[in-house]
Amino acid sequence: MERMTRLFGTDGVRGLANETLTVNLALRLGQAAAEVLTRENRSSKRRPIAVVGRDPRVSGEMLAAALSAGMASRGVDVLRVGVLPTPAVAFLTDDYGADMGVMVSASHNPMPDNGIKFFAAGGHKLADEVEDEIERVLNENIETGPTGHGVGRVLEESPDARERYLNHLRDAVPANLNGIKVVVDCANGAASDVAPMAYQAAGAEVIAIHNSPNSYNINENCGSTHIEEIQKAVVEHGADLGLSHDGDADRCLAVDAHGNVVDGDQIMAILAIAMKDNGELRKHTLVATVMSNLGLMLAMKDAGIEVKTTKVGDRYVLEELNAGNYSLGGEQSGHIVLPDFGTTGDGTLTGLALMARMANTGLSLGSLAEAMTVLPQKLINVPVTDKTIVMSSPKVLEAIEIAETELGETGRVLLRASGTEEVFRVMVEAADADTAVRIAGRLAAVVAEV
């Protein structure tokens, strides 16, 4: 029986398609997820419904087919919505009143990889205990399911899925973007159609690049992992800004008219101040991760905004947003969550909100980004033999104390264990790059000796 050492990671199940992430595993995952996520409706007369979407990478076709077959074999009607961004699938899961949703995508990973992300009813990501239950059921390897009228249908493809999502984006950010010229890098991914369409519908002049997916070119030297592409294009076209998405369009990075990068932290700063001005930032609070730049914390303090920090990963940002009923959160990588309009990061929605702030203030993106000063940051990955003992080492604790004293309020130190490998991450921020590099190197040398 196929097993992965660790089935669910921080964002679903991911692996090399047709090697670790096989059709057989996808079939069984579909069966197990259907059993777990539709239990509450099994007693009702309505047959459970699942929404299935994918990004355009070639392996998505076979994996989506296998997942659909697995869910149908457990009595679930499957609504295939085709190639759409991850946040669109989350939205449609709720909008169609489905019991579950599935997105087949490896996000910003290269084309040979793929992944499977599940959503519960309402389009919400799964809690750890639900993922554990799916894995438990999968390992039971139950062969039989309903027969006859009990077998689910696979409906291909929903004719109004894309239009529903575009209408949702329009209603979420009803901005007039006339006069704004934007270049959008679609990463040859899931937003190659909908992102340009959404920006054009709001009135922006749109120049789309890397928007011709052929099943093999997703994320290939383009998108948010290759920000240099949008930097060049914005300057060449004389645009007001550029927006760069990843393969499944749940993240957005930007560049200003001069090609300067505006990362997720800066985008959060701009949107937090905008929402505070508009009375939309509940409890005057932003949710970010521990990896967000200290410059964000300082900028928010100046703006009278509190920052709640979580562990790295958008799922932890979502948990804190829901627990505190906050209205904005995200990550430095460009995953920005506006929970009033979506249950997960939405790159296209982020792009619309960013341009709406430009339109409403008449300010350039570069001017808006000046609300935050990005402090130099140095990150060193240190291989270790046992990452569980690093933070109990007296030498490490002493080195951290010395570094923090030296930095004072002008910088910070963060040490954390990798979640997937025997590596300890040493990150230092300082007022200047030389100081950040020097102190990070000193700390890394101490960690390496543990």
Catalytic residues: 107
What one-character DSSP code corresponds to residue 21?
Answer: B
Q: Around Cβ 405, how many Cβ atoms within 10 Å? A: 8
8: Cα within 13 Å, side-chain hemisphere? 21
Phi, psi (rounded to 5 degrees) for 286: -115, 140
Tell me whether residue 185 is annotated as binding. no
Sheet (strand 241-245) strand order: 205-209, 181-185, 241-245, 252-256, 261-262
Tell me whether residue 250 is annotated as binding. yes
Quick one: 429 exposed, middle or buried, by C-beta within 10 A (0-12, 13-18, 19+)?
Answer: buried
Whole-number Cα distances in Å, 290 to 294, 295, 300, 317, 377 = 9, 12, 15, 10, 13
Tell me whether residue 346 is annotated as binding. no
Q: Decide: 322 and 279 in contact? Cβ < 8 Å.
A: no
Question: What residues contact residue 10 under an 8 Å CB cut-off, 6+ apart?
Answer: 313, 315, 419
What one-character DSSP code corresponds to residue 223?
Answer: G
Rounded Cα–Cα distance for residues 194 and 85 (Å): 8
Q: Around Cβ 88, how many Cβ atoms within 10 Å? A: 34
Rounded Cα–Cα distance for residues 311 and 183 (Å): 32
Tell me whether residue 244 is annotated as binding. no
Rounded Cα–Cα distance for residues 223 and 253 (Å): 9
Which residue positions form the known binding site?
A: 107, 246, 248, 250
Which residue positions form the known binding site for Mg(2+)?
A: 107, 246, 248, 250
